[in-house]
């Protein structure tokens, strides 16, 4: 049978979809986007817009492929408690690893299957990927769930509480990936910094991973500022395998808004921690997420947030206009910001992000950096430095290999000549 997977949302969803793909491939199913017998939609519910898109895609695939088995799974399915009309197999955020059994059961009985659980009382669902076919960087999900309950976020309700993958199973999975040729591993989760397996923390995991000989780069997909402790900072200072890039969500540069968001730090704490990280490794790239136009954000709070981001000097800011999420406390907090004001503020932050990104990259012009080649397209090779500068090369290169490259002034969207 032929199958297709459509994935919405975050890196965790992408990891889970990749895992499901590996299960289907091993079972003899064949990937086919054009004429699939089975269509799996891995959904997202982070915003109301995500809900609409998830629902739309389920309906679209049912309409386009009326005879196919439609599988709907993930966060949106969990949020609506499995109440979906246009799917044959419905799975929330547990039992995705049992999808082969459910497909076989449906083929045999032709009866709708619904698997929804209380996510407050579930264990970590083990998944293991041995090799990524389409990616050079290999993602490894080490944790699921969140305990933070930020006022704008629905995810703790649909993903459940923090739970972690067994420490030794992670080591085993990464060893398999490295032995299959992957040189860079990205640790991911809903709340990665909260990783804890029988007393083994994220620091313990990182300390063990740097010992793997063929592993050249270790990247954390995202980590909260309050979880970057002195041990992790010291490890960043000592271990070159830990890349010179951290993605640390700020969400707002206003103490008033941070409090309304139920974030667990203020500006002073955030700034001091960033300074400490930069003392341990000079010129480390620090990127961030920022929500613009949150309820209660007046012009004063916007300016405060803007100036704080300038002061921190992020190398890139991922900007999200606040989107109301039904079921969250933020819906009842503060005065709403009109859409026109949100757009103006988003545009100003985009301009600032572009300026900061150019300033950061300019520091490395004339310097030699290691580039991992990830893609070949139109006779060009694309790759990233460990501090996440994208480079484009012409010459004799190979995908999934690391090369020493001298960066020049045309390092973005132009060619960089090999040293």
CATH no. for residue 310?
3.30.750.200
- Give the strand order in the sheet containing 285-292: 245-247, 285-292, 316-321
Residues 311 and 228 in one domain: no
125 shares a domain with 238: yes
Whether residue 41 lies inside any domain: the answer is yes
What per-residue confidence (pLDDT) applies to 394?
85
Q: What is the pLDDT of residue 410?
A: 62
How far, in Å, CA of 270 to CA of 278, rounded? 12
Both 300 and 329 in a single domain? Answer: yes
Among residues 399, 389, 409, the alpha carbon closest in space to that of 245 is found at 389
Give the pLDDT confidence score for residue 419 in this predicted structure.
32
Structure confidence at residue 398 (pLDDT):
92
pLDDT digits (tens, 9 = 90+) for 404-418: 998 987 654 443 333
Structural domain count, the chain? 4
Spans in the chain with pLDDT lower than 50 = 412-419
Q: Distance between CA 190 and CA 12 in Å, rounded?
A: 7
Q: Residue 152 domain-assigned?
A: yes
Residue 357 sits in the same domain as residue 290 = yes
Write out the residue range of the structural domain in which residue 163 sits.
Answer: 120-243
DSSP 193: G
Give the CATH number of the domain where residue 53 resides. Answer: 3.40.50.12160
Residue carrying the six token digits 């898109």: 53
* pLDDT digits 0-9 by tens, 17-37: 999 999 999 999 999 999 999
pLDDT for the residue 414: 42
Q: Are residues 325 and 345 in the same domain?
A: yes
Q: Kindly report the CATH number assigned to the domain that includes residue 378.
A: 2.40.50
**Are residues 17 and 130 located together in one domain of the fold?**
no
| Domain final position from 341, 363, 385 | 363
**Residue at 164 is within a domain:** yes
Give the model's pLDDT for residue 416: 38
Q: CA-CA distance, 358 to 361, in Å (whole number)? A: 5
Q: What is the Cα 25 distance to its own chain's centre? A: 24
Which pLDDT score, from 0 to 100, does residue 412 have? 47
Cβ contact 384:398 at 8 Å: no
Percent of residues, the chain, with pLDDT higher than 70: 97
Contacts of residue 281, Cβ cutoff 8 Å, sequence gap at least 6: 236, 237, 244
Query: Cα dihedral sign for 194, 197, 203, 208?
Result: negative
Strands (E), 213-284: 217-220, 245-247
Token couple for 341? 């004001």
Is 239 in the same domain as 302?
Answer: no
For 239-279, the pLDDT digits (tens) are 999 999 999 999 999 999 999 999 999 999 999 999 999 99
The two three-digit tokens of residue 179, written as one number: 């032995």
């Amino acid at each position: 049978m032929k199958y297709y997977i459509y994935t919405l949302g975050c890196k965790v969803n992408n990891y889970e979809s990749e895992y499901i793909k590996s299960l289907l491939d091993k079972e003899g199913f064949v990937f086919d986007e054009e004429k699939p017998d089975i269509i799996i939609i891995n959904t997202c519910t982070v915003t109301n817009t995500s809900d609409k898109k998830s629902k739309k895609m389920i309906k679209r695939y049912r309409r386009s492929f009326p005879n196919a088995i439609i599988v709907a799974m993930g966060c949106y399915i969990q949020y609506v408690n499995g109440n979906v009309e246009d799917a044959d197999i419905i799975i929330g955020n547990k039992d995705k690893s049992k999808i082969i059994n459910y497909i076989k059961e449906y083929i045999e009985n032709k009866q709708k299957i619904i698997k929804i659980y209380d996510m407050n009382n579930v264990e970590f669902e083990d998944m293991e990927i041995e090799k990524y076919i389409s990616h050079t960087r290999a993602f490894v999900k080490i944790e699921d769930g969140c305990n933070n309950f930020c006022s704008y976020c629905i995810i703790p309700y649909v993903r459940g509480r923090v739970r972690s993958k067994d420490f030794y199973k992670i080591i085993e999975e990464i060893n398999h990936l490295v032995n299959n040729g992957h040189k860079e591993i990205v640790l991911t989760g809903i709340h990665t910094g909260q990783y804890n397996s029988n007393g083994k923390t994220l620091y313990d995991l990182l300390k063990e991973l740097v010992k793997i000989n063929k592993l050249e780069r270790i990247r954390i997909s995202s980590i909260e500022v309050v979880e970057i402790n002195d041990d992790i900072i010291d490890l960043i200072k000592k271990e070159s395998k830990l890349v010179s890039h951290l993605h640390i969500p700020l969400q707002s540069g206003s103490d008033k808004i941070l409090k309304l968001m139920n974030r667990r730090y203020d500006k002073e704490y955030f700034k001091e921690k960033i300074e400490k990280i930069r003392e341990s490794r000079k010129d480390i790239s620090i990127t961030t997420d920022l929500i613009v136009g949150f309820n209660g954000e007046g012009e004063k709070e916007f300016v405060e947030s803007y100036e704080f981001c300038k002061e921190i000097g992020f190398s890139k800011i991922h900007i999200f206009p606040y989107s109301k999420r039904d079921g969250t406390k933020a819906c009842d907090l503060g005065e709403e910001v009109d859409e026109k004001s949100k757009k103006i503020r988003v545009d100003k932050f985009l301009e600032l992000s572009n300026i900061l990104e150019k300033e950061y990259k300019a520091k490395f012009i004339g310097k030699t950096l290691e580039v991992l080649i990830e893609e070949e397209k139109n006779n060009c090779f694309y790759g990233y430095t460990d501090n996440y500068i994208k480079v484009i090369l012409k010459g004799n290169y190979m995908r999934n290999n690391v090369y020493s490259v001298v960066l020049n002034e045309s390092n973005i969207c132009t060619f960089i000549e090999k040293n």
